[in-house]
Structure 1
Amino acid sequence: MNISKSNSSFTFVREFILLGFSCKWKVQVLLFSFFTTTYALTLSGNGAIVCALRCDQRLHTPMYILLGNFSFLEIWYVSSTVPKMLVNFLSENKIISFAGCFLQFYFFFSLGTSECFLLTVMAFDRYLAICQPLHYPNIMTVPLCTKLVIICWLFGFLWFLIPIVLISQMPFCGPNIIDHIVCDPGPLFMLMCTSAPKTQLLCYTLSSMVIFGNFILILGSYSLVLLAVIRMPSATGRHKAFSTCGSHLAVVSLFYGSLMIMYVSPGLGNSVGMQKIATLFYAMVTPLFNPLIYSLRNKEIKTALRKLLGTVTII
């Protein structure tokens, strides 16, 4: 354990041991192979959607601009934690530097926050398209959509900046073992020399605001969408509306369902094993399924992907 002494009686941690999944070597190798395959599929799936949407001029509309940014975000979101996780599977010491830990903490939470905001904007886009179809082209223009995307990224990267800086300035005395798969505030608070109730309250308040605030907005948007769809006289129109919104609702359910385990179910959330599984689910599993959900339920995306694959094959 790399520590240094201060002028006081404290010894300060300079690196952490990111414990991850503690199991036998053969199981570690098996998990490494499985997660490497999952990571590669996630990158290729989301990357294919980004390239397909960028290459097809017909899909340069607000709905697909949002989807392209979402897939692009997923690539960086999964890359903020998985590479280090894969290295740790084959490493004996599982060490992560102090700076590396907090950089992972910052990017993982910032990208996750951006995803929450972006999912809300996507729900608002569907609300306008279905509930205000005549005004939709005039309201949700490409410039407005671009501004909303920039706001999602900007707010995402600013939301947790202050608490993360405050936590990084706190003294960590040891032990330096983080019993988690990522650098998370919960385990970090437990390793501090002194308690920091105000910083802890700030961190969890911001987490709750971004999770529950966006989730309530999404539920509100889709409640209005559901009422509008039910009133549609045409069965074809209802089917098309449900098909359009179904993929987004599936992604929201996967992402927020795993988050709710951490923040709504105290008994399950306090279990170290359940924390690891829940974190793994929204950090790695949902980014894998998102491109599948969107591509399988959207004819335009499937057409764009076929066109892209055909171009690549010819080359």
Structure 2
Amino acid sequence: MNSDPTEFAKTMGFDRLPTHIIEKRVTDLMDLSGRKAIVTGAGGGGLGQAIANRLAGLGADVAVIDINHEGAVRNAAIVEERWGTRAIPFQADLSDWDQVHEVVAQSADALGGLDIMINNPVQVVSDSFENHTKADIDYTVHGSLTMLMYGAHAAVEQFLPQGHGRIINIASVGGRIQHRGLTVYNAAKSGVIGFTRNLAHEFMPRGINVLGVAPGLMINPVLRDVLANASDEQGFAARGSMLEAIDRYIQVGRASLPEEVANMVAYLSTEAADYMCGQTIDVAGGQSMN
């Protein structure tokens, strides 16, 4: 055993303990003023826009990225008006390696830096596995896992030279449990959870922290109205599946709003979560298959 107290203190990281936080409120640690963030998949009415609003509400400037340019422009304007921070819209096809790297670099340049990368792409075909075509499988795996890896790679290129940064990957509680009709999607989201853990292991020593959030059943206002007024077989099937999940598996007894999941993403983006690393946190109302 090494008896040198100086060496012991260095090994234990005593000189790196964040003692400045001791007298602060948790809310003080959640101030993102001056931070620069990217949120992908933020041009619609779901989780991406909710995350952009939550980060901006804590003071961050945000790049709103989506293939839907009109939606990105609309949501960026809402963020700026609501929170008074900068929100810059960008259009990019997140399935294209070159476009992803280009838009992340452009975003960092426009924002004046980059501190936080929120990886929120999703593409999914929901059907029994025997009905899947090669195109269905490729579409789901690429949209729910590969595109996320592209975004992480682009962010790492920005973070390594500066020696710090945070990546938050959006997984799914389906990556931990099973659902009929979502075999490929859930397998891809299991991959997101493993990717998050391994990426953190590789890059935390170089200053890049990686975390994940796994939503469960989310309902945005548009989807809520569509389901409430379902009039065809597909709509009734979707309603039945969701009602079964709520009745049997979701302990809270309801679906979530995207903003409830975005709350966790926002927390993990702040100094308050600095001692978390490689974890994927479920925000799914206690959903399980037990």
More helix, by proportion: 1
Rg comparison, structure with higher value: 1
TM-score tier, shorter chain, comes to under 0.3
Structure with more relative contact order (C-alpha pairs < 8 Å, separation 6 or more): 1
Q: Structure 2 length normalisation: TM-score?
A: 0.27
Q: Structure 1 length normalisation: TM-score?
A: 0.25
More strand, by proportion: 2
